Structure 1
Amino acid sequence: MPFILLALVVMAGIVYGAVRLYAAVALYFGTLAAVATIVVCVLIVVWLVVDAVRRYRALHGVRRDGKRLVSVSGEWGELTLDAERKMGTLRVDGHETRFVFSDVTSAHPVNEGGRWSLALELAHNAQSSWRVPMPDRALAQRWTKIFRLVNAHRL
C-alpha cells in the first residue's frame, strides 16, 4: 500500500511540474513552444524508461517458456543461463557442458589480437577453462557483469 501512495505522489508531482513548465514557457514564448517543450520532455522520459528496461533485460534476461533466460550465440556456439534454476549451458566449437552457478569461479574479458572473448573458469568440471568468443568489447564486459551477478547470486 505505501508504494501505491508513493507512486500517486510522484505522479502528482510530475503533473504539477508539467503544468508549471507549460505555464512558464507559454508566458514567454507562446502556446506552440510550450506544447513542444512538454512533448520533448515526455519523449525524454519515455526514452529513459525504455532504455532502463532494455538494460535490465540485457543483464537479467527475458522470460521464455516459463524460464528467465540470458543467452548469447554465434557461429561458435551458444551460452545460455537459466536465472531461475541457477544453471547454465555452454556449447563452444562442438564441446558442450552444463554447470550450476556455484561452479563459476571467474569470468573476465580477454583481448587476443583484436578479438574479444570471455575467459570462463568452472570448478567441478572436466574442462575447467573455457574461451567464449564475443563480437566486441562491450558484449564481453556485459557478460563479465552477468557472471559477477551469478557469483553474488543476484541474477
Structure 2
Amino acid sequence: VYNVEQLRTIAARGIAASMINQILVEESVLGWEELELEIVRDQSGKMITVCFIENVDAVGVHTGDSFCTAPMLTISKETQLRLQDFAYRIVESVGVIGGTNVQFAHDPKTGRVVVIEINPRTSRSSALASKATGFPIALISAMLACGL
C-alpha cells in the first residue's frame, strides 16, 4: 500500500473478510537497512554480543536470501552501540538464557530504529555468526541450558 486511498480499499476488504471484523495495520519499513545482533546471555544476566551482522539487501529481502557482512561495514559505531543497548534490554526483559538473534530495521535518513523480530534460539544467523567469529553459539547455548 502506497497511499491512503489504497489503504482504505484494502482495509475495507480485509475487515469484510475478517471473522472478527478486525485487521492489523503495520508501518512499512520497506527499503530500510536490516541489521542483526547475536547476543548470548547467561543465568546471572551477563551478556555478550557475539556478532553484529549487516544485511546488504534492504528490508523486504528475506534475511536467508540476503548477502550479509559480519562485522557491520557501513554502520556507525554509535548506531551499533544503540542497537546493542536495545538488544540487551530486549533479551533481559524476555529472560532468555543462551543465544538470541535480534533483528532491526534502521532508517539511515532519520536514524530511527525499529525491532523486526527476535529469535530466542539458535538460528541461521547464529550459524553465520559462529562461522564469522569462531564463537560456538549453539554449544554455549546448550551448555547454558544445562546449567553449566
Q: TM-score, normalised by structure 2?
A: 0.27
Higher strand fraction (1 or 2): 1
Structure with the bigger RCO (C-alpha within 8 Å, sep 6+) is 2
Larger Rg: 1
Higher helix fraction (1 or 2): 1
Q: TM-score, normalised by structure 1?
A: 0.26
